[in-house]
Structure 1
């Protein structure tokens, strides 16, 4: 059997679910990025001070910084990560802004596209079914036309009889 086509409500609900899942995924990614940044900060602090810092879940003993370049590297990584986070926020805001409301002509195009989808869902009659249905309709119309003509003629004859014409 053919796959059932989705109506507008189902499509919108599916789009809402997708958007919600995308938002959750973005939130998880942001949380992961924030956790990575915290670990990077803690590691940098650990290298600078040579003391173990909470949050620097490295699984190794604290290491003293041997040269300042290693600390600068982590600062650069932290700066890069925060820059990426800001860029991701900007992209998300831009995407949200674009998803607001389509323009006038776009909405007209969407309307006619949905009309086409709905017309494809219509159960169109075959030539034989159409001929049979049309014959039934014409037959019923003919029967009621004849019945109306007979009743009208009968009332006309009764009126002529009582009025003496």
Structure 2
């Protein structure tokens, strides 16, 4: 598996208490997409599940106004206690688009899609709110500092070895 996107789910469904496991995703990108009116898979439990995902990149994409059935062709009036405030066709399109962009950006390494999901998209799309974490990129000064320390260490080691060779001859 190269990446995964999951709608309306969490590790607390059917469980009322107890700690949630840390999700050792082995660097596989994961997005949780969640309607904020979900009465089946509580958004707070999805947020808790998201927090347990160990390795970035990861994203928590909230669809304001969508309920648990926001991804289906019609709402479930029996199982879902909360009515959506976002039109069904808008919810479906938004969930599908953000899921596809996450997969394109992470699994297919599409830089435009990645930037949209992790940097700019939620400011441009009124139908989402995004929390995300990407792998940190080392800053240039940090890299140069580490290289400098490596050179100093190697130089010191070489000097010490040369001294040992001179003493033994």
Q: Please, what TM-score do these two structures have when normalized by structure 1?
A: 0.30
Which structure has the higher relative contact order (CA within 8 Å, separation 6+)? 2
Question: When you count helix as a share of all residues, which structure comes out higher?
Answer: 1
